[in-house]
C-alpha cells in the first residue's frame, strides 16, 4: 500500500484546475478531470520512473496527465488534458504531490514555488492510501 499526500498548495492548485474545468466544460467534465488527477497520482505512486516522468531540480518529478489519460476508459476519458503534476517521493516511500500546473508554465519554476510553500506551510492538506495491486 502506498500513501499519497498533498501539500496545501497542491490542494489549492488542484481545486483551481477543477474550477477551471467546471467553468469551461461543465460538471461532468470536472468529474472526469478529477478522476484523471487521481489516476495520475496513483500511476506516479506505483512507478515514479514510469514513461513520461521528468526529473526536475531537487528530486522533483513532473508528470503530464496525458500519460494517465490513456488508462481511463469510456465515459471517464479526458480528451486533451493540459496539466502536469509535480511531486516528490519521500524517504518513507510515500508520494508527496506538490502541485499541478497548466500549459505554458515551467516545471522548474512551479517546483520552486511549491517547495517555498511547503517551507511556509509544513504538513499535509490530505493523505490517502492506495492499493499497489490496483491499476
Q: What is the pLDDT of residues 61-117, one digit of tens each?
A: 999 999 998 888 787 888 888 889 999 999 999 999 999 987 655 666 666 777 777
Task: Encode pLDDT of 19-47 as tens digits.
Answer: 989 998 999 999 999 999 999 999 999 99
List of domains in the chain: 2-121 (3.30.2310.20)
| Chain centroid to CA 131 | 17
d(C-alpha 15, C-alpha 45), whole Å:
20
Residue bearing the bigger pLDDT, 111 or 4: 4
Question: H-helix or E-strand containing 130?
Answer: strand 126-130
- pTM to 2 decimals? 0.79
How high is the pLDDT of residue 23?
A: 93
**What pLDDT is stored for residue 114 in this prediction?**
72
Residues 94 and 130: their CA atoms lie apart, in Å, by 10
Main-chain phi, psi angles of 130, to 5 degrees: -120, 145
Can you state the percent helix, strand and coil of the chain, rounding each to 5?
A: 45, 25, 30
How many CB atoms neighbour CB 30 within 10 A? 18
**Residue of 103, 102, 97 lying closest to 117 (CA atoms):** 97
The Cα–Cα gap between 113 and 134 comes to: 32
Amino acid at each position: 500500500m502506498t500513501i499519497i499526500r498533498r501539500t496545501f498548495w497542491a490542494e489549492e492548485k488542484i481545486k483551481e484546475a477543477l474550477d477551471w474545468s467546471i467553468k469551461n466544460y461543465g460538471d461532468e467534465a470536472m468529474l472526469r478531470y478529477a478522476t484523471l488527477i487521481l489516476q495520475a497520482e496513483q500511476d506516479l505512486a506505483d512507478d515514479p520512473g514510469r514513461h513520461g516522468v521528468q526529473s526536475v531540480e531537487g528530486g522533483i518529478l513532473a508528470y503530464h496527465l496525458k500519460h494517465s489519460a490513456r488508462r481511463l476508459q469510456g465515459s471517464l476519458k479526458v480528451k486533451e488534458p493540459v496539466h502536469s503534476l509535480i511531486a516528490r517521493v519521500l524517504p518513507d516511500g510515500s508520494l508527496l504531490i506538490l502541485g499541478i500546473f497548466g500549459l505554458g508554465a515551467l516545471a522548474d519554476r512551479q517546483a520552486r514555488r511549491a517547495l517555498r510553500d511547503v517551507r511556509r506551510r509544513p504538513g499535509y492538506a490530505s493523505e490517502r492510501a492506495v492499493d499497489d495491486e490496483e491499476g
